[in-house]
Structure formats: C-alpha cells, structure tokens
Amino acid sequence: MILGVSGWLSEKLGWDVSLIRIAFVIAVFIFGTGIGLYLLLWLVKMFSK
C-alpha cells in the first residue's frame, strides 16, 4: 500500500494483491504482528534488488 510490499509479494508468490492486503489487515487486528511483518518484508524487498 504505502511501501509497495503487497504488490511485490503478490508478484513473488503469484497471489492476488487483494488477498495479501486482507491478510496484513487480519494480522494487524487479530495477531498484532502485521505492522512488524510489513516492515520486515519492506526491508527484504529493499535489499533483494
């Protein structure tokens, strides 16, 4: 969304970007780990180029 992680992850996994965004929202509200996971994946995205 903001950092492009959902789009990048959908390209890597071959999943629909909407499913990944919904998964991040569920992870934030239910598990409380979505924000940390999102930032971690952003770092992976930045250094994997």
| Segment 4-18, tens digit of pLDDT | 899 999 999 999 999
Tokens matching residue 6:
């959902």
Whole-number percent of the chain with pLDDT over 70: 96
Compute the distance between CA of residue 27 and CA of residue 48 in angstroms, rounded to an integer.
24
∠ Cα 28 30 33 (to 5°)? 40
pLDDT tier at 1, thresholds 50, 70, 90? low
- Mean pLDDT confidence for 14-38: 89
Domain with 12, as residue range(s), is 5-47
> How many domains in the chain?
1
∠ Cα 7 48 33 (to 5°)? 60
Mean pLDDT, the chain, whole residue set: 89
Tokens matching residue 20:
């990944």
**DSSP helix/strand/coil, 29:** helix
